Structure 1
Amino acid sequence: MIVASFVTDSNFRAVLYIVSFGLFIYGLSGLTGPKTAVRGNRIASVGMAVAIVATLLVPHLSNVVLIIVGVAIGTAVGVPAARQVKMTQMPQMVALFNGVGGGAVALIAWVEFRDSGGFADVPTYVAIFSCFAAIVGSVSFWGSNVAFAKLQELITGKPISPFGPAQALVNGLLLAVAVACGAAIVAGSHHEILIIGLLVAAALVGNLLVLPIGGADMPVVISTLNAFTGLSAAATGVALNNTALIVAGMIVGASGTLLTQQMAVAMNRTIPSVLLGGFGGEVTAAAGAHAAGGTVRATSAADVAIQMAYARLVVVVPGYGMAVSQAQHAVREMAKLLEAKGVEVKYAIHPVAGRMPGHMNVLLAEADVPYEQLREMDDINGEFSRTDVAVVIGANDVTNPDARTKPDSPIYGMPILNVDEAHSIIVLKRSMSSGYAGIDNPLFVNPKTSMLFGDAKQSVSDITEELKAL
C-alpha cells in the first residue's frame, strides 16, 4: 500500500519527468558526432520510456489497456519500419514520423475538446494552447505527408500551385478560418463543428503550403515541419500539465528552428521565401548547360584510376546519387587504396547535399570514413584550387556554377562547393539528367570535366579494381 502510494505521488512523477528530460538533453548532445550518435539515440529512448512510465502512474488513469495496445501497435509498426528502411529513404521516414507526431497532437486536442464539453470546465489557457496545438499539429501532419509523397515520388517533386499566383492568399484565408474557429472556441462556443472546421482548415493549409514547394527545398521543409511538431507538442504539454511533453516539445521545436535557419542560410534562402514557393519549377532550355553548346567528354574507369593514383589531393564530393546506389562502402575502399599510395583524400560535404540535413555524413559514417576527413563547405572550398582531382558522385545542384554566375537561375546566390576550381573534375552519373532544382549543370561541360557514366557503386568498384592493377 505504501509502495503504491509512493509511486503514484505527484512528486515522484515530477522526479521521473525531470530524469526523462535530462536524458533527452543528454541524448541530444550525443547527436553532435557519428561516434556518439547511436549512444545518444539510446539514451534519449530511455528518457522517453521513463516519461511514458511516469504518465502511466497518473492516478485514476482510464483506458490503460487501450494505451498499452496503442504502444504495442506503434512498436510493432515503428521498429521494423525503422530497421528496414534504406538510407536513401531516410528523409521520407523522417517526414512520415514527424507527421505522425503532429497528427497525434491534433487528435489529442480534439479528444480534449470532446471530453471537456468544448473546454467548458477548464481554464482559458487550456483552450488557447489546445487550439494552437490543433492548428500547428494538423498543418505539420498534412504538410509532412505531402513532403513524404514528393520524396517518395508518389507525386511530382516540382511545385504544384492549384491556385497559381493567388496561392499565398488562399493559404492566408484558410489559416484565418482556422484561427477564427479557435477564437470562437476560446470565447466560449462549444459547438464541435468549430473544432472540426479548425482541423479541416489547418489540414488544407498544410497540404497547400507544401505542394507549391519544389524538391530542392525539401531539407528546409522537413526541418520546418519538425519545428512545427515540436511547438505543437509543447503547447499540448501546457494544456495537459505534462512537464516532460513541454520540455521534449520545446527541445524539438528549438532544434528544428535552428536547423531550419542553418539550412536556409546554406541555400541563401529565407524561410518565408521557401514557404511561399520553392525551387524545382519549370525552366527554359536556355537556362541549361546544354544550350550553351558545351561538349560532354566521357572517360573510363582506367583513366580515372590513373589520374587519381598520381594525384596529391583527391576530394570526393558525395551527393544523392551516392545514396541511391549505396556506394559509400565502395568509396571507402577506393579511398583506402589511394591513401596506401600516398594520396590525401578528403570529402566535401555541402549542408543540403542529399535530401536531408546530414544525409551524406550519416552515409559516410556508416562506411567508417574517418570523421576528420569530412570537411564542411566553408572549410573545403578554399582547398579546391590545390585539388588535383575532384570526384563528384551524384551531386548536382550543390556543385552548379550557375549559382554564382547566372542571376536568372533558380539557385542563384546559393552557396556551392567550388568544384570547378579543381585541376581535374570527374563526375559519376547515370545520365545527364538534372538535379532537384530542375536545371542543367554547366560543370558537366567544363573543359576540365570528364563524365563516367553508369551506376555510381559499380563505377567506383571499377576504379578500385583499376587502382589495384597499377
Structure 2
Amino acid sequence: MNAALLIDASYFIAAFLFIYGLKRMSSPLTARSGIVVAGAGMVLAVLASFLYTLDVNDAAKPFLSTNLTLAIIALALGLGWAWRSGKKVAMTEMPQMVALYNGMGGGAAAAIAAIELIGYKTHSSVSLTLAVLGGVIGAVSLSGSLIAWAKLDGRINKTLRFSGLQAVNGSLLLLLLAIGAYIVWHGGVVAIPVFALFFVLALVYGVMMTMPIGGADMPVVISLYNAFTGLAVGFEGYVLNNPALMIAGMVVGSAGSLLTLLMAKAMNRSVANVLFSNFGAAGDEEQGEMEGSQKPVDAGDAGINMRYATKVIIAPGYGLAVAQAQHKLYELVKLLQDADVEVKFAIHPVAGRMPGHMNVLLAEAGVPYDIIYDMEDINNEFKEADVAIVIGANDTVNPAARSNKSSPIYGMPILNVDQAKQVYVVKRGQGKGYSGVENALFYADNTQMVYGDAQKVMVSMIQAIKSLGGGH
C-alpha cells in the first residue's frame, strides 16, 4: 500500500470516528465513550499526517528534518499543556477552558491561512478565497474567544460600549472584507504589510465584537465561536486538500451552529440580539420596584420541611458549581429518597456557564440520569411539587420573564419554580445574578431564602434530617 492510499484510508477512518463519537456525545449515558472515540480519530488523523513525509521529493528533503522536529515539539507542548490543564481544571472553570480551546483552534486555522497566503501557495481563486475567509474567521475566533475567557474568568468585568460602536464595528468589517477582496483580486501576490494589516484588523475585530457583549450572554458567544472555529478549519482543510480537516471542520461548525441556535431559542432571543444588544452587562436595567421582601429561613428548617414533603424538584445553577456542593447535594437527595420523597432535577438549557454544565456536574457526583430532566420535560410538574429548591440559579428561574414586559429577560423560557407550593432559594447573598437582573422569585410569598455557601447549606440540611432518625 502506497503512502497516499494509506493516508486516505486513515482520514476516512478518522472521519468516521469523529462523526460516530459526536453521535455518542448526544446522550449523557454514552458521552464519555464518545469523547474517547472522537479522540482516537484525532490521534489517527495526526499520525496519518506524518505519512506525507514518505512522498517528499529530493528538493524538499533538506527541510524535512527541521519540519518534523518543529512538529514534534509543537505536539509535545500541546499535549503537555492540555494534559496538565485538563487534569487540574475545576468544574467551575470548564467554560473558560472551552473558550481557550475554541480560540486555539481558530488561531491554528488563521496560522495555516497566513502560511498559505504569505507563501503564495494558493493558486486557484476558490482556494485563495477560502484561505482568506478561513484566516479572518479564525483570527476573529481567536481574539474573541480570549475575551470571552477573560470575561468568564473575571479578568475583564466591564463592557466596552460607546455611541457609534456599531458603526465602528461595521466599518471595520467592511475594511476587512475590502482587504480580503484585494488579496484575492491580485491572486495573493501582495506585499507582506497588507497581509499583516489584514490579520491584525481581524484580531481587533474579534475584540471589538466581543467586548460589548454582557457576561450573561457568554455561553452563547462561546458556542458561536466554536462554530466559527469549525468553519475556519473546514475552509483551511479545503485549501490544504486535507479531508480530515474538512470533515472535522464541518462537524464542529454544524454542531456549534446548531447549539448556538438552540441556546438562543432557549433564551427567546436571536443570535443577532445576543451580539448587538445591551443585555447582560450593566445590572442597571429599569424594570420597576420589587414588591415584598426577601424572607430568610434556617437551612435546617428547610431540610426538615423537605424530609416531610412528597415531591421535591431541584433547580441547580452556577452557584452549585462554585461551591462544589454537588456531592453533598446528592447525599441530601439519597436521604430524601430513603424517606420516600420523590426527588427530581430540572435543568434549564442555559443553566451554568455553558450547555450541559449542570448535567456534567451532577454526573460527576453520581446522580442517576433517570432523575435528571430537561426543562420542557418537567416544567409542568412544578405545580405538583411540595418543595422546589433553587441552588445558585437566577435568571433561569425568574418569573419576571413571564410577567414583566419591562424586564430585559421578558419572553425567555424559564423553569416554573414559582409554581411549587414552597420554594427555597440557596444563595450566598442578596446580590443580583450574572446578568444583573433582579429576580422577582426571591420576593414571592411562597419563597424563602437560605443564605450561605451551598456546600455548607447542604451539610446543615443533611444534619437536620439525620437528627430526625432513619438516615444513613
Shared fold per TM-score greater than 0.5: yes
Give the AA of the match of 2:149.
F
| Cα deviation, residue 115, structure 1 | 2.0
| Cα deviation, residue 447, structure 1 | 1.1
Aligned to 1:3: none
Is 2:25 aligned against 1:24?
Answer: no
CA distance in 1, matches of 2:442, 2:73: 55
CA distance in 2, matches of 1:392, 1:43: 36
- CA distance 1:423–1:195, change in 2 (3 Å): same
| Cα deviation, residue 277, structure 1 | 2.6
CA distance in 1, matches of 2:270, 2:285: 27
Secondary structure at the counterpart of residue 392 of structure 1: strand
CA distance in 2, matches of 1:53, 1:293: 64
C-alpha distance after superposition, 1:220-240 (max 9, x if no partner): 101000000000000000000
Aligned to 1:235: 235
CA distance in 2, matches of 1:50, 1:285: 51
Is 2:323 aligned against 1:361?
Answer: no
From 88, 102, 109, the equivalent of 1:105 is 109
| Cα deviation, residue 40, structure 1 | 0.9
Secondary structure at the counterpart of residue 442 of structure 2: helix
C-alpha distance after superposition, 1:4-31 (max 9, x if no partner): xx352x1221110000010111111111
Is 2:88 aligned against 1:87?
Answer: no
Structure 2 residue runs without a partner (length 5+): none
Aligned to 2:36: 42
Secondary structure at the counterpart of residue 297 of structure 1: coil
Aligned to 2:143: 142
- Identity score, percent: 45
| Cα deviation, residue 431, structure 1 | 0.1
Kindly report which structure 2 residues correspond to 1:3-402, keeping only aligned pairs within 5 A, or say none.
Answer: 6-8=1-3, 10-58=4-52, 59-60=55-56, 62=64, 63-116=67-120, 119=122, 122-156=123-157, 158-161=158-161, 164-188=162-186, 189-284=189-284, 287=287, 291-402=289-400
| Cα deviation, residue 279, structure 1 | 2.0
| Cα deviation, residue 287, structure 1 | 2.9
CA distance in 2, matches of 1:415, 1:249: 32
Contact 2:297/2:450 (8 A) holds in 1: yes
Q: How many residues align?
A: 456
Structure 1 residue runs without a partner (length 5+): 1-5
| Cα deviation, residue 160, structure 1 | 2.0
CA distance in 1, matches of 2:222, 2:337: 37
Aligned to 2:403: 405
- CA distance 1:278–1:242, change in 2 (3 Å): farther
| Cα deviation, residue 165, structure 1 | 3.6
Contact 2:216/2:281 (8 A) holds in 1: no
Q: What is the alpha-carbon root mean square deviation over aligned residues?
A: 1.4
C-alpha distance after superposition, 1:178-226 (max 9, x if no partner): 1111111111242122221211111111101111111111111010000
Give the AA of the match of 1:159.
T
CA distance in 2, matches of 1:15, 1:35: 30
| Cα deviation, residue 74, structure 1 | 0.5
| Cα deviation, residue 172, structure 1 | 1.4
| Cα deviation, residue 285, structure 1 | 7.5
CA distance in 2, matches of 1:271, 1:176: 20
| Cα deviation, residue 177, structure 1 | 1.3
Secondary structure at the counterpart of residue 292 of structure 1: coil
| Cα deviation, residue 404, structure 1 | 1.1
Give the AA of the match of 2:373.
R
CA distance in 2, matches of 1:206, 1:461: 44
C-alpha distance after superposition, 1:70-124 (max 9, x if no partner): 000101111110111000000000001100110111111111122227x4xx222
CA distance in 1, matches of 2:285, 2:16: 55
CA distance in 2, matches of 1:258, 1:286: 33
CA distance in 2, matches of 1:7, 1:46: 23
| Cα deviation, residue 305, structure 1 | 1.8
C-alpha distance after superposition, 1:371-421 (max 9, x if no partner): 111111111110010110001001011111111111121111111111110
Give the AA of the match of 1:13.
I
Contact 1:330/1:461 (8 A) holds in 2: yes
Kindly report which structure 2 residues correspond to 1:412-431, keeping only aligned pairs within 5 A, or say none.
Answer: 412-431=410-429
| Cα deviation, residue 278, structure 1 | 4.3
Secondary structure at the counterpart of residue 345 of structure 1: strand
Of 330-339 and 404-413, the range deviating more from structure 2: 404-413
Secondary structure at the counterpart of residue 414 of structure 2: coil
Give the AA of the match of 1:41.
I
CA distance in 2, matches of 1:94, 1:7: 38
CA distance in 2, matches of 1:285, 1:56: 56
Aligned to 1:433: 431
| Cα deviation, residue 127, structure 1 | 1.0
Aligned to 1:444: 442
Taking structure 1 as the reference length, the TM-score comes to 0.95
| Cα deviation, residue 286, structure 1 | 5.6
| Cα deviation, residue 339, structure 1 | 0.4
Give the AA of the match of 1:36.
T
Of 83-92 and 188-197, the range deviating more from structure 2: 188-197
From 455, 458, 470, the equivalent of 2:456 is 458
